[in-house]
């Protein structure tokens, strides 16, 4: 079996986002809402092509920040899907993206 050349591999982008809310949210709830928002906006096929994935180990409950991984061609659409999240558990929230990077270590700093 042949190995994929680097030009054929999907390039990943990491999006750091912050949720502005009065309540402290758990990572399971945030992960569910992020995937549901992407499914609503992009559809199942678009989500599969983009490779949207919430990284639960990056969720900071105190700061209410997290990181989502997506494909480099789908960054703008993934940001739009996150911006459409208006409420979590019946409480109003706003989601804003802070930074986008190709390296996970740059966002963790």
pLDDT category, 108, cuts 50, 70, 90? Answer: confident
pLDDT category, 9, cuts 50, 70, 90? Answer: confident
- CA-wise closest residue to 93 among 83, 81, 103, 104: 83
Residue 6: its pLDDT value, please? 82
Please give the C-alpha separations between residue 91 and each of 19, 60, 64, 65, 88, in angstroms, as whole numbers: 12, 19, 15, 17, 5
Structure confidence by residue, pLDDT tens digits, 70-94: 999 999 999 999 999 999 888 899 9
**pLDDT at residue 31 tops 90:** yes
| Distance from the Cα of residue 65 to its chain's centroid | 10
Count of Cβ atoms closer than 10 Å to residue 74 Cβ: 19
Tokens at residue 48, please? Answer: 């599969």
Question: Helix 75-83 crosses helix 27-50 at what angle (to 10 degrees)?
Answer: 140
Residue 44: its pLDDT value, please? 93
Residue 41 and residue 37: Cα distance in Å, rounded?
Answer: 6
The average confidence (pLDDT) of the chain is 91
Mean per-residue pLDDT, 18-46? 92
Structural domains of the chain, with CATH: 22-101 (3.30.70.3250)
């Amino acid at each position: 079996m042949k190995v994929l050349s680097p030009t054929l591999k999907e390039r990943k982008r990491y999006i750091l986002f912050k949720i502005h809310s009065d309540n402290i949210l758990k990572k399971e709830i945030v992960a569910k809402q992020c995937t549901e928002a992407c499914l609503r906006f992009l559809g199942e096929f678009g989500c599969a092509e983009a490779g949207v994935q919430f990284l639960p180990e990056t969720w900071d409950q105190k700061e209410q920040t997290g990181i989502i991984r997506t494909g480099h061609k789908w960054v703008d659409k993934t940001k739009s899907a996150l911006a459409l999240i208006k409420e979590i558990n019946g409480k109003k929230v706003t989601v804003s993206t802070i930074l986008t990077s190709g390296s996970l270590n740059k966002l963790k700093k």
